[in-house]
Amino acid sequence: MGKVKGLDVGTMNLVGSEQGADGKIKLKLMRHTFLDIEANSFTKSMLKKQKVQYAEMGNKVYILGDSAFELANIMNKTVRRPMQDGVMSPGEADAVPIFGLLIDAVLGKPDEKGQLCYYSVPADPVDANFNIVYHSSVIAGALKNLGYTGKPMNEGHAVVFAELGDKDFTGIGISAGGGMFNICVAYKTIPAISFATSRAGDWIDKNVAQVLGIKVNRATAIKEKGININKPANREEEAVCIYYRNLINYTLVNIKNKFEKAEQMPQFPEPIDIVCAGGSSMIGGFVDVFKEELKKLSFPIPINTVRLADEPLYATARGCLLAGLSEVE
C-alpha cells in the first residue's frame, strides 16, 4: 500500500493532504459547495473559458467550489451544500454524487488501488439527537469508489495530532467548523473524551441572516470579509459579533458540563493547552473572546494557554495525514 493521504471533510470546506517526495506536506482546499444551472452549449463554453470547475449530471451543470459560492452571491441565490449541521444533508438529493466529485478534486487519484486515507468525522453531539454512522459510511463509500481505503478519525483528535506534538500530544483540540464544534481531550495521543456541539459557523450565519433579512450565504460573506468580533464597525458586524460571543460561551459551558460529568477524565500533572482550528476560529478576535468567556467559568481542568492552530483551515487535514503516517511507517 502506498503512502497515506488525509482528508478533512468539513461542512464549509474540503481539504486534502499528502506527503510529497521532498517530505513536505501538500494541502489542497476547496469550498464544499455547488450550484446547479441549466446546461447548454453556450454556458459550458463560457465556463470552460473562465476555467470554472463544473460537472454535468442529466440536463444540468453543477458549478463546484468557490465559483459556486461567488456566483450564488452575484445572482442572489442560495448556494447548495452536500453537508448540513456537520453531516451529510438529508435534504440534498444530489449530495452524494456531488460529494464524490468534490473529493476527487481535492485528493486526486490514489497512488495505487486501496491507498489508505484518513478522513475526519465529527463526534456524536451532546446537544442533538443523531449520530455519525451514516455520515461516516457515505464518506468511506465515496473514497472506495475513487480507489481509496478510508479510515475515520475524530476532528478534534486530528487537531491534537497536528498542533500538540511539542506537548507530547497532550491537551485539548477544538475543531471549530461550520456545522459543529468538535472537542477532544487527549493524553499522549490517546483520546480520553471526544464529543461535539451542534452550534457552529452555520448557526451564526442563519441567525445573522434572519436578523438582517438577507440570504444565508450573504451573511457568510460578511463574516468572512475580515472583521474583528471585538471591534464591530457597523450593524452587520455587530450582529456577527453578538452571535459569535454567544456561540463561544455556549461551547465552553457544554465543555465544562461534559468534563464535570466524565468518569474517565485524566488527571493532568500540569496545566494543558487548548488549540482551536477550523474556519470558524479564523475571525479576528476569536481567541481573545474565547479567553474572556473562559475566565467567566470555573473550568474543571487547569489551562495553560489558548491559541489558534498555525494554519486553522488546514490543521485537521494535516492531523489526519500525520496520524495515518504514524500507522504505516
pLDDT, position 78: 74
Mean pLDDT of the chain, nearest integer: 89
pLDDT in tens, 203-258: 999 999 999 999 888 898 899 888 999 999 999 999 999 999 999 999 999 999 99
**Cβ density class 256-274: b for 16+ within 10 Å, e for less:** bebbeeeeebbebeeebbb
Write the Ramachandran bin of 321: left for phi over 0, alpha for psi from -120 to 50, otherwise beta.
Answer: alpha
The CATH number given to whatever domain includes residue 304 is 3.30.420.40
d(CA 319, CA 157): 8
pLDDT in tens, 199-208: 999 999 999 9
In a domain? residue 66:
yes
In a domain? residue 76:
yes
What's the domain range around 64?
A: 33-80
Q: Do 166 and 302 reside in the same domain of the chain? A: yes
pLDDT confidence band for 173 (50 / 70 / 90): very high
In a domain? residue 54:
yes
Q: Do 175 and 272 reside in the same domain of the chain? A: yes
Are β-strands 272-277 and 171-176 bridged in parallel, bridged antiparallel, or unpaired?
Answer: parallel
In a domain? residue 141:
no
Q: Do 298 and 205 reside in the same domain of the chain? A: yes
What is the distance between the terminal CA atoms of the chain, rounded to a whole angstrom? Answer: 11
The SS3 assignment for 158 reads helix
Residue 317 near residue 15, CB atoms below 8 Å: yes
In a domain? residue 245:
yes
User: Is the model more confident about 269 or about 276?
Assistant: 276
At a CB cut-off of 8 Å and minimum separation 6, what does 92 contact?
80, 81, 82, 84
* Number of alpha carbons in the 13 Å side-chain half-sphere of residue 76: 2
The C-alpha cell 453531539 sits at 125
What's the farthest any 2 CA atoms get from each other in the chain? 66
Whole-model pTM?
0.87
Q: Do 177 and 278 reside in the same domain of the chain? A: yes
- Contacts from 19-24 at CB under 8 Å and sequence distance 24+? 19/321, 19/325
Residue 64 near residue 36, CB atoms below 8 Å: no
pLDDT, position 2: 58
Q: Following CA atoms 295, 298, 304, 305 in sequence, which dihedral angle do they give, to the nearest 10 degrees?
A: -30
In a domain? residue 6:
no
User: Is the model more confident about 48 or about 4?
Assistant: 4
Q: Do 62 and 173 reside in the same domain of the chain? A: no
**Cβ density class 313-324: b for 16+ within 10 Å, e for less:** bbbbbbbbbbbb
Using the predicted structure, report yes or no on whether residue 71 has a pLDDT greater than 80.
Answer: no
pLDDT confidence band for 1 (50 / 70 / 90): very low
pLDDT in tens, 160-172: 999 999 999 999 9
Residue 5 burial (C-beta neighbours within 10 Å; 0-12, 13-18, 19+) = buried
Q: Do 68 and 186 reside in the same domain of the chain? A: no
> End of a domain among 47, 80, 113?
80
Portion of the chain with pLDDT greater than 70, in percent: 96
> End of a domain among 63, 80, 97?
80
pLDDT confidence band for 317 (50 / 70 / 90): very high
**What percentage of the chain's residues is helix, strand, coil (to nearest 5)?**
40, 25, 35
Domain count, the chain: 2
The C-alpha cell 473524551 sits at 193
In a domain? residue 40:
yes
In a domain? residue 182:
yes
User: Is the model more confident about 46 or about 138?
Assistant: 138
d(CA 276, CA 171): 11
pLDDT in tens, 76-108: 777 777 777 677 776 666 777 888 888 988 999
Task: Please report, for residues 69, 82, 306, the alpha-carbon distance to residue 245 in angstroms, rounded to integers and kept in the order given.
Answer: 26, 28, 16
